[in-house]
């Protein structure tokens, strides 16, 4: 089966995605069209990545019958609208995280995809890294004993100009960084927390610039997470059990799983034809292949990142943003 891809959005992640896709077998993946609001950028990306069809705006992409699946990489604020448009036009969708800005948006998209029997996946690319499989195997076989605490940090030092832009982009510490930390914690604990409390700072425009969060789970288990837009953090996850601790570097896109001095595994990412904008973006290829695997098997939800989990994450980010005082009208 050759999966025909359409690309909605022409940002840096679209470039990285196309470069990663190009490392996969062409008999399985082909990009047939790209669409965006800025015609120049659409043309530039189409030329660079040898995509035959370039659309201005997303309507034509949605109606292009040659497309099987659309990668939605527009601004966070538009994920809902564009994903909905594609589903309504019977396209499978891989949507950048966060799929919705809120629980309401996410639930509505999931309902629509399920109703129409279409494949829908929130682009939580972390889940498809082999290091996550190996981590899960190590934990489920008792390598850490009982896991009682998880600590995650994600800090990106951005300047005031970028920080002020976050509002218009639909960004913020919770939606840009927090979701990655939540998915890691949920990957390990596999159930919703019984209590979530957080605090943090809002910008003058009302966007969360920092968030620190404490989570409580059943049976004595806890977690802490923190995101900052003012300093680079350790950006590691620490998974602490009764028999040991794993420190996972680049927890959202890990290529090394270091269990002990004698037990460390490293995975090599494919080389892209072009330079990537973001760290380990070549690993987007794992996620692209997951779409192929699911659709090829006729599965409409990835077992590694289910839609129920997307719904749970959206509930948690709503809770966190409400506690931080992000405008209630948005929730």
Residue 204 Cα distances to 18, 64, 163, 226, 331, angstroms: 36, 42, 10, 20, 19
Partners of residue 237 on adjacent β-strands: 152, 248
Asked if residues 229 and 207 have their Cβ atoms less than 8 Å apart, the reply is no
Please list, in sequence order, all residues whose beta carbon lies within 8 angstroms of the beta carbon of residue 141, skipping any fewer than 6 positions away: none
Q: Are strands 195-202 and 208-216 parallel, antiparallel or unpaired?
A: antiparallel
Q: Are strands 222-228 and 236-241 parallel, antiparallel or unpaired?
A: unpaired
The distance of closest approach from Cβ of residue 297 to its own copies in the complex, given in angstroms and rounded to an integer, is 39
Closer Cβ to its own copies, 183 or 210, answer by number = 210
Partners of residue 309 on adjacent β-strands: none
The distance of closest approach from Cβ of residue 191 to its own copies in the complex, given in angstroms and rounded to an integer, is 15
Closer Cβ to its own copies, 14 or 227, answer by number = 227
98: preceding bond cis by omega (within 30 degrees)? yes
Closer Cβ to its own copies, 111 or 191, answer by number = 191
The distance of closest approach from Cβ of residue 179 to its own copies in the complex, given in angstroms and rounded to an integer, is 17
Closer Cβ to its own copies, 30 or 201, answer by number = 201
The distance of closest approach from Cβ of residue 234 to its own copies in the complex, given in angstroms and rounded to an integer, is 6
Asked if residues 69 and 291 have their Cβ atoms less than 8 Å apart, the reply is yes
Closer Cβ to its own copies, 82 or 240, answer by number = 240
The distance of closest approach from Cβ of residue 225 to its own copies in the complex, given in angstroms and rounded to an integer, is 7
Closer Cβ to its own copies, 208 or 301, answer by number = 208
Largest CA distance in the chain: 56
Q: Compute the distance between CA of residue 312 and CA of residue 54 in angstroms, rounded to an integer.
A: 36
Please list, in sequence order, all residues whose beta carbon lies within 8 angstroms of the beta carbon of residue 70, skipping any fewer than 6 positions away: 5, 6, 7, 8, 61, 62, 86, 91, 92, 93, 94
Closer Cβ to its own copies, 53 or 203, answer by number = 203
The distance of closest approach from Cβ of residue 304 to its own copies in the complex, given in angstroms and rounded to an integer, is 27
The distance of closest approach from Cβ of residue 140 to its own copies in the complex, given in angstroms and rounded to an integer, is 18
Asked if residues 98 and 254 have their Cβ atoms less than 8 Å apart, the reply is no
Closer Cβ to its own copies, 148 or 267, answer by number = 148
Q: Compute the distance between CA of residue 209 and CA of residue 202 in angstroms, rounded to an integer.
A: 5
User: Binding residues for its own copies, per CB under 8 A?
Assistant: 145-146, 148-149, 151, 153, 155, 157, 195-201, 209-216, 220, 222-226, 228, 230-234, 238, 240-242, 245, 247, 323
The distance of closest approach from Cβ of residue 24 to its own copies in the complex, given in angstroms and rounded to an integer, is 37
């Amino acid at each position: 089966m050759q999966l025909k891809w359409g690309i909605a959005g022409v940002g840096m992640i679209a470039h990285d995605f196309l470069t990663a896709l190009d490392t996969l077998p062409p008999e399985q993946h082909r990009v047939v069209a790209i669409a965006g609001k800025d015609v120049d950028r659409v043309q530039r990306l189409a030329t660079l990545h040898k995509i035959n069809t370039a659309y201005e705006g997303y309507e034509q992409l949605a109606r292009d019958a040659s497309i099987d699946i659309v990668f939605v990489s527009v601004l966070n604020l538009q994920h809902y609208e564009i994903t909905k448009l594609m589903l309504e036009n019977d396209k499978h969708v891989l949507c950048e995280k966060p799929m919705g800005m809120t629980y309401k948006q996410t639930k509505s998209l999931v309902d629509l995809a399920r109703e129409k029997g279409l494949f829908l996946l929130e682009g939580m690319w972390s889940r498809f890294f082999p290091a996550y499989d190996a981590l899960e195997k190590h934990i489920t076989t008792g390598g850490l004993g009982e896991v009682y605490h998880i600590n995650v940090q994600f800090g990106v030092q951005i300047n005031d100009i970028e920080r002020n832009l976050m509002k218009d982009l639909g960004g913020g510490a919770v939606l840009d960084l927090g979701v990655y930390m939540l998915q890691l914690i949920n990957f390990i604990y596999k159930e919703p927390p019984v209590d979530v409390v957080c605090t943090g700072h809002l910008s003058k425009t009302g966007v969360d610039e920092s968030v620190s969060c404490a989570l409580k789970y059943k049976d004595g288990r806890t977690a802490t997470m923190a995101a900052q837009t003012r300093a680079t953090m350790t950006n590691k996850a620490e998974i602490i059990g009764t028999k040991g601790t794993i420190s996972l570097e680049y927890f959202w896109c890990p290529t090394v799983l270091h269990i002990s001095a004698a037990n460390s595994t490293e995975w090599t990412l494919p080389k892209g034809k072009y330079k990537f904008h973001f760290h380990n973006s070549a690993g987007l290829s794992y996620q692209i292949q997951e779409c192929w695997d699911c659709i090829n098997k006729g599965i409409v939800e990835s077992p590694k990142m289910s839609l129920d989990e997307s719904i749970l994450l959206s509930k948690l980010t709503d809770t966190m943003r409400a506690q931080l005082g992000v405008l209630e009208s948005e929730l």
